[in-house]
Amino acid sequence: MARTSVPSVFAVVSAFTLLAACSGEAGDAVKETAVPSGDAPAEIVQRQENFEAIGDSFKTIREQLESEAPDFAVITPAAADINGRLQRLPGLFPEGSSMEAGHDTEALAVIWEDPDGFAEVQEQAVAASADMMAAAATGDAEAVGGQVGNLGLNGCKACHDKYRVEQE
């Protein structure tokens, strides 16, 4: 395997920074998913599990990209998992399932106040994850790293900045 150039390393490091934001991780710290109270809609539990699984798939991709010889038999299904889970998001945010409604969640009420904007960032995330899947199919680790960064910036961060409680 050829050595990676310095600019490539910086691109991958930047992608991992965005990846951590997308998966809800802060560096190597593991953030536990909050479990909603018993009166919470089932969709809150489902969306929290969905986001946790997205984080797990991102971690799998990150670990592979950091390895000496990334295994695309591992990266490709993880990228597909992220794409499939992002496509489920529209059904996991029923009206009244925000933290302002008293639920143990990081979802802000602005989701329902700006449904078109929320739908748009979800669509951007799905499109960016499809691009990541396409990059994974090429077997090019640098391309995957670039698309991880694209998804982190244009999908995850775009949503978290407006529709999720600010993380410290």
pLDDT tens per residue across all 168 residues of the chain: 433 443 443 344 444 444 444 554 333 333 334 444 456 689 999 999 999 999 999 999 999 999 999 999 999 999 999 999 999 999 999 999 999 999 999 999 999 999 999 999 999 999 999 999 999 999 999 999 999 999 999 899 999 999 999 876
Residue 88 · residue 129 · CB < 8 Å: no
Residue 95 · residue 44 · CB < 8 Å: no
C-beta neighbour count of 165 within 10 angstroms: 12
Residue 145 · residue 11 · CB < 8 Å: yes
| Dist. CA 38–CA 153, nearest whole Å | 34
C-beta neighbour count of 87 within 10 angstroms: 15
According to the model, what pLDDT value does residue 33 have?
40
According to the model, what pLDDT value does residue 39 have?
66
According to the model, what pLDDT value does residue 60 have?
98
According to the model, what pLDDT value does residue 166 have?
85
According to the model, what pLDDT value does residue 165 have?
92
According to the model, what pLDDT value does residue 38 have?
57
Tokens representing 12?
A: 């991958």
Give the sign of the dihedral formed by CA 85, CA 88, CA 90, CA 92. negative
Lookup result for tokens 């979802």: 107
| Dist. CA 95–CA 41, nearest whole Å | 10
**Best CA proximity match to 149, nearest among 12, 48, 45:** 12
The rounded Cα 153 to chain-centroid distance in angstroms is 10
Size of the chain in residues: 168
Q: Please give the model's pTM, rounded to 2 decimal places.
A: 0.79
One-letter amino acid of 39: D
Instruction: Provide the 3-class DSSP secondary structure of residue 24.
Output: coil
Tokens representing 3?
A: 């050595």
